[in-house]
Structure 1
């Protein structure tokens, strides 16, 4: 593999021919991922893996917990993949090796449908493999362009976005049918075959790729600047930032030790329902929050040891982290479309008797998830061509932060709609599955406002040297979004909480839907208040 093959830098602005391998890989990988992800909860509820629990709310809750722990892993492991690629192996080798791990995980799901150890090992391997390649494929694609053909890059990135939603749409539509008609071995095996094909397609382009070598250790990277700031002493001043950061580290270690003692000794040093995943995520959150706060208190002390641009970049990242933290409640709502909303849909009636309902295709509640990528492909052009220009003509300034704040609030409205449907179901009425289209439409509109806008916002606010760090933290917003779900599920197992829910007259499902709606509204309010005083930057590259 040449570092700069002639075919990789085509003259006259031609499209690099190796892009086809990357796009083909992405198409198969996305179908593979969403195919298994979107049938995970229905499979677990009906599988022997959870047969030790009585059918009903307990088994549903356990399936939700497993799903959201899987999501946590998927969005945590980009940290590992990005670090290995940047420091040691480069993007190509890291993507290839993690893809092989990914394939092994799919094989475990197909082979061990009735074996808990084998199946959960497969989930771990898929989380590791999928997460490991997640931050790399798009940037590897960007590496294939140079000054002579950079105008073609936008076409390719648009194709990437389209392929992701295209794969998600068909996977969401077809995978539940495979599970229903052919069983879990086939339903999980088909995504595994597609992931193997994706890996082969990627490998076939090995002689064509431009391979940017790993950068190695950067003495002015984000963590290096933070460490310098915390260690530095100023004449006549203490080190309050270091103290705050140490409290964060000690608290994180204490959480993990208390969990370990509870798990091994059997004494309740730590909440019983806080398993290792919850505890580790809480520990990580404390380190990020108190470490970031401590660094901000002493950041100016890093000047001189590091260039001003690096110090200012860290300051920008710390501000963006507050924005990202306020986005995490959105992901707690969004990712439950593949868990809580599927469970709700299973209580609804599929309107096969209606002439307008495509009974030949839509036969399972899990297939409603296909609405999300379909609506995304429709809403983004609608917003850019119709909605945003109309709002500007009406005198509204459509800033990135305002879009994100409204997106969080609209996601809350979607859960109000879902909660009303749940009340309807709880009353004993037969509720058509078609009604779920409304909360899906609202949630997807919120997603378009939040997710796509957040990437644009983060790119514009972070200096070039810090953009990789920002992407790593962005993926963690989904990790902490699922953490909120796990914490809530743990909370409703408490007898006092259960008694309170019963006193409201609502079912547990309905109560939680309105709770998450309120959670989103509070987050949107806090987001709006912070956005009003956020100092906007412009870090786009000068042409």
Structure 2
């Protein structure tokens, strides 16, 4: 077929479908809007009316950390119904469009100087990200036929767009806030999302063949969560466990001290249903091999919660520390706080190939390079980054301020840890999840990531009572001990996977230049 007769969705640019670049720029601007808003969210909440960047909400640190934890958790948890909406009703392409529109409205609402606009804007952003995030990456995979060796490189290109958007946002948003105020920063995030929506609308002809509405036959083959969970009423032991957990959750949640006790009540009830669902999945598995792999998969979710519970301090406790206790003067210029969050994206762009090649070379030498080992090692490396925050706190206690070098080193270690752990975690889910529950386990992976965000908020809250030194030290100790424990248990855990990764091989030459990613956007 000649080039002149190719349909738009069949056209290629630099060896990849044009649709990849449509999704690249859509996601780049969406990540610009998300990380731009995230970079100033907590410091806006704690800013007083007399703040140099304009009036903030004047909340206490405790209140800001509470909202931040709920926000990060919900952004990921709402991805579950966002994925279901796409899988069952609209298809990924239309659900991404819906999410982009809602995000434009959400960021635009945040630009309005009013308390109601703040809460409505955040709610819309949570819903918008929930619709867009889990579906746009799926569409990237859909651009390539099964077995197409370009798929991993396509995801690598897509991953660059994610981090480029984050880097641009955190580099620019602080300057805008310093010059024109908080709401100008929120408004800039809205304009960025509007650009992303425009790109997506323009590029529809290049992606018309992916992410379409599922057929009735495809829907009929999916596992019904309701039907699966309903089987618990025919399983006495599991039913008793579920009822006890539910009763304890209701009691604990609604007697919880604090203004957000209702939130914890809902969270504990949700977790009780999740536990009940997991018990029924385990019981329904037909072989011991599948059951063993399922148990290892649940352990990997614990690693995910621990990792993101520590990593998400970037937008919470570390952001506040940067704003209030760090000497940010460089050559007579005050570096805006949001720029420091951009270090993560910058380091990813610089180091991603290097880290991927280190792991590839280990595997070529037949050294330990399993997914669990990478996840545990990444968690340890990321946790060790908080050692530099301990040094920062000690310097602040001695001199009244701490140097920027501690933040740079902390973000460097966090990024190396992320590149070791995050890219392989979702791939691990695809290897171990039972085929008929694959989509459901993906949703639970998002939920685990969201719970990590909630843990991050809780740790921020505790810093108000115990201080940053205690929290940073606790993160170092827990992440290192937990990661080492997984490594110590690696042999029996690998036996329980029953060779799920034994058939993998390392590609040579230019094929090792890509990232080892199944879905690079999953945590970014």
Query: What's the TM-score, normalizing by structure 1?
Result: 0.80
Highest Rg: 1 or 2?
A: 1
State the partner residue of 2:190.
192
Equivalent pair of 1:415/1:516 in contact (CA under 8 Å): yes
C-alpha change, 1:449 and 1:218, in structure 2 (3 Å) is: farther
- Give the length in aligned residue pairs: 487
Which moved further from structure 2: 203-212 or 42-51?
Answer: 42-51
Q: Which of 253, 265, 268 is the aligned partner of 1:279? A: 265
Deviation at 1:130, TM superposition (A): 1.1
Higher normalized contact order (CA 8 Å, seq sep 6+, divided by chain length): 2
1:499-543 CA-to-partner distances (Å, cap 9, x unmatched) read: xx5xxxxxx12111112222323432443355432222438999x
Check conservation: 2:11, 2:17, Cα contact below 8 A.
yes
> CA separation in 2, counterparts of 1:529 and 1:293?
27
What does 1:2-401 correspond to in 2, within 5 Å?
A: 6-9=7-10, 15-48=16-49, 53=59, 59-112=60-113, 115-146=114-145, 150-208=148-206, 209-211=208-210, 212-214=212-214, 217-218=219-220, 221=223, 223=225, 226-227=228-229, 230-232=232-234, 239-255=236-252, 258=254, 269-272=255-258, 274-293=260-279, 295-296=281-282, 298-299=283-284, 316-317=293-294, 319-346=296-323, 347-353=325-331, 363-386=335-358, 388-389=360-361, 393=365, 396-401=367-372
Q: What is the distance in 1 between the residues matched to 2:204 and 2:364?
A: 47
Which is worse superposed, 460-469 or 373-382?
A: 460-469
In structure 2, do the counterparts of structure 1 residues 491 and 185 end up closer, same or farther at CA, with 3 Å as the change threshold? closer
Counterparts in 2 of 1:143 and 1:327: CA distance versus 1, 3 Å: closer
Q: Structure 2: how far apart are the matches of 1:94 and 1:157?
A: 20
Q: Separation in 1 of the partners of 2:198 and 2:14?
A: 28
Q: Retained in 1: the 8 A contact 2:362–2:369?
A: no
2:385 counterpart SS class: helix
**Distance in 2 separating the partners of 1:16 and 1:430:** 51
Structure 2 residue aligned with 1:356:
none
Once the two structures are superposed, residues 409-447 of structure 1 have per-residue CA deviations (whole angstroms, 9 ceiling, x without a partner) of: 222211122112112101235432133111111111111
- Structure 2, gaps ≥5 residues long: 1-5, 50-54, 505-524
Alignment partner for residue 477 of structure 2, among 512, 518, 537? Answer: 518
The superposition leaves residues 231-265 of structure 1 with CA deviations (integer Å, 9 ceiling, x where unpaired) of 556xxxxx312322333344445556x3xxxxxxx
- Give the superposition deviation at 1:31: 1.1
Q: Secondary structure at the match of 2:410?
A: helix
RMSD of aligned alpha carbons: 3.2
Q: Out of 434, 440, 457, which is 2:411 matched to?
A: 440
**Contact 1:410–1:445 (CA<8 Å) still a contact in 2?**
yes
Distance, in Å, in 2 between the alignment partners of 1:101 and 1:138 is 18
Paired residue for 2:519? none
* Whole-Å separation in 1 of the counterparts to 2:306 and 2:105: 33
Preserved contact between residue 407 and residue 447 of structure 1 (Cα < 8 Å): yes
379-388 or 447-456: bigger deviation: 379-388
- Secondary structure of the residue that 2:267 maps to in structure 1? helix
Equivalent pair of 1:255/1:283 in contact (CA under 8 Å): no
- Given the superposition, is the C-alpha separation of residues 197 and 10 from structure 1 closer, same or farther in structure 2, using an over 3 Å criterion? closer
2:450 alignment partner in structure 1? 479
The counterpart of 1:422, out of the listed 357, 375, 393, is 393
C-alpha separation between the residues in 2 aligned to 1:540 and 1:116? 55
Relative to structure 1, the CA distance from residue 109 to residue 51 in structure 2 (aligned partners, 3 Å threshold; closer, same or farther) is closer
| Alpha-carbon distance in structure 2 between the residues aligned to 1:249 and 1:181 | 51
Distance 1:399 1:367, change over 3 A: same
Cα separation, 2, equivalents of 1:227 and 1:41: 38
Native 8 Å contact 2:97 2:197 kept in 1: yes
Alignment partners' CA distance in 2, 1:312 and 1:213 = 34
Task: Please give the alpha-carbon distance, in whole angstroms, between the structure 2 residues aligned to 1:489 and 1:11.
Answer: 47
Write the deviation string for residues 50-88 of structure 1: whole angstroms up to 9, x where unpaired: 6555xxxxx223222222221111111101110111111
Deviations 1:358-408 (A, max 9, x none): x66x71233111110111122221123346526864x73222111111111
Indicate the SS of the match to 2:384. Answer: helix
Deviation of residue 214 (structure 1)? 1.8
1:538 paired residue number? 500
TM-score by length of structure 2 reads 0.83
Question: Cα distance, 1:18 vs. partner?
Answer: 3.2
Partner of 1:263: none
Partner residue in 1 for 2:521: none
Q: Displacement, 1:225?
A: 7.5
- Are the aligned partners of 2:83 and 2:131 in contact in 1 as well (CA < 8 Å)? yes
Distance in 2 (CA, whole Å) between partners of 1:33 and 1:409 is: 27
1:528 aligns with 2:487: yes
- SS at 1:111's partner residue? coil
Q: CA offset at residue 12 of structure 1?
A: 13
Q: Secondary structure of 1:136's match?
A: helix
CA distance in structure 1 between the partners assigned to 2:98 and 2:57 by the alignment: 35
Please report how far the alpha carbon of residue 484 of structure 1 lies from its aligned counterpart in structure 2 after TM superposition.
Answer: 1.9
The one-character-per-residue Cα deviations of 1:138-174 (angstroms, maximum 9, x if unpaired) are: 1122223336x93443332111101101111111111
